[in-house]
Amino acid sequence: MIKIFHTLIIAVAFAFGSSIAIAETITIVAASSIKFAMADIVSKFNAENRNDVVKAMYGSSGKFTMQIQNGAPFDMLFAADVDFPQMLKNKGLTSTDPEVYAIGRLVIWSATTDATKLTLQKLSESAIRKVAIANPEFAPYGMRAKEALKLAGMWEKLQGKLVFGENIEHTAQMVSTGAADAGIIALSLALNPEMSKRGGYSLIDDGLHEPLAQAFIITKRAKGSVLARRFAAYVQTPESRKIMESYGFALPKKHHSSAR
């Protein structure tokens, strides 16, 4: 009996030790444009994988890219374009090629004006004093907003009105709080329940800018991370893709590594 008891103790200790050994935590950084969709995906993944933890931070793709270049301890980057992940790939700072996971859309949004009737041209009207866009230097959605305004012949006309958010979420906050009367933001943010209660939106013709193909990479520091690869696969499951679609993202027909 004592021998059996000792055997059971050893077996339990081994199982407990094994569960601790396989537990892993990773930190992902993601563009603000996918904050709400990614938060849902991360929450679902963590609930289904009790031994592992995915932590997420949201902000500017460009700033996260700079931080990774400077040695920030991030395991995955979910950017708002392909170029920033490709930049990291070119510098030897990734363990995977950029993988397109979603395609974003730009909208005009306002909390004070019926944005369903707004166009890029109408942003120059006197009733709209300030127009917010994300900083084109760091935020892909800001870059694409600038492209659309230029092609529509409105970039120069709006120079006295433009104000810049640090990222696309900050841009939306500027419009929501009244710091700007209208803004060019991500459709995924406009569809967030809290924002959709406050104002409508109008889609910007995606022919006016380069596609907002959004890609992710696993960083070099996470090369041996089983969890990072599992989460990468999870983001591309039908369940996760359905969450992305619910926030207005279009999805690539097939998954492939992208490079420019």
CA distance 99 to 27: 18
Looking at the fold, whether 100 and 111 belong to one and the same domain comes out as: no
Give domain status of residue 251, yes or no: no
Q: Which one of 151, 177, 203 terminates a domain?
A: 203
Looking at the fold, whether 182 and 113 belong to one and the same domain comes out as: yes
**CATH code where residue 39 lies:** 3.40.190.10
Per run of 10 residues, the mean pLDDT along the chain (length 260 residues) is: 49 46 87 95 96 96 96 97 97 98 96 93 96 94 97 97 95 94 96 83 96 97 97 97 96 56
Looking at the fold, whether 88 and 164 belong to one and the same domain comes out as: no
Looking at the fold, whether 159 and 89 belong to one and the same domain comes out as: no
Give domain status of residue 223, yes or no: yes
Looking at the fold, whether 181 and 111 belong to one and the same domain comes out as: yes
Give domain status of residue 258, yes or no: no
Q: Could you tell me which residues come within 8 angstroms of residue 94 by beta carbon, excluding any fewer than 6 positions away?
A: 85, 88, 217, 218, 219, 220
Looking at the fold, whether 39 and 159 belong to one and the same domain comes out as: no
Give domain status of residue 2, yes or no: no
Return the DSSP state at 180.
S
Give domain status of residue 8, yes or no: no
Looking at the fold, whether 190 and 132 belong to one and the same domain comes out as: yes
| Residue 219 identity | T
- Residue 183 burial (10 A CB sphere; 0-12, 13-18, 19+): buried
Work out the angle at residue 172's Cα, subtended by the Cα atoms of residues 124 and 80, and round it to the nearest 5 degrees.
105
**Domain assignment of residue 35, given as a range:** 24-104+212-246
Q: Which tokens go with 101?
A: 């996971």
User: In total, how many domains does the chain have?
Assistant: 2
Looking at the fold, whether 167 and 226 belong to one and the same domain comes out as: no
Give domain status of residue 99, yes or no: yes
Q: Which one of 173, 203, 233 terminates a domain?
A: 203
pTM metric for this prediction? 0.83
- Specify the pLDDT at position 203: 97
Give domain status of residue 256, yes or no: no
Give domain status of residue 129, yes or no: yes
- Specify the pLDDT at position 1: 54
- Specify the pLDDT at position 187: 96
Looking at the fold, whether 95 and 179 belong to one and the same domain comes out as: no
Residue 229 CB neighbours (<10 A): 16
Looking at the fold, whether 112 and 96 belong to one and the same domain comes out as: no
Looking at the fold, whether 99 and 121 belong to one and the same domain comes out as: no
184 close to 132: Cβ distance less than 8 angstroms: yes
Helices (H), 120-214: 140-151, 168-176, 187-190, 193-196
- Specify the pLDDT at position 198: 80
201 vs 59, 115, 119, 192, CA distance in Å? 22, 5, 10, 12
Looking at the fold, whether 75 and 112 belong to one and the same domain comes out as: no
- Specify the pLDDT at position 254: 57
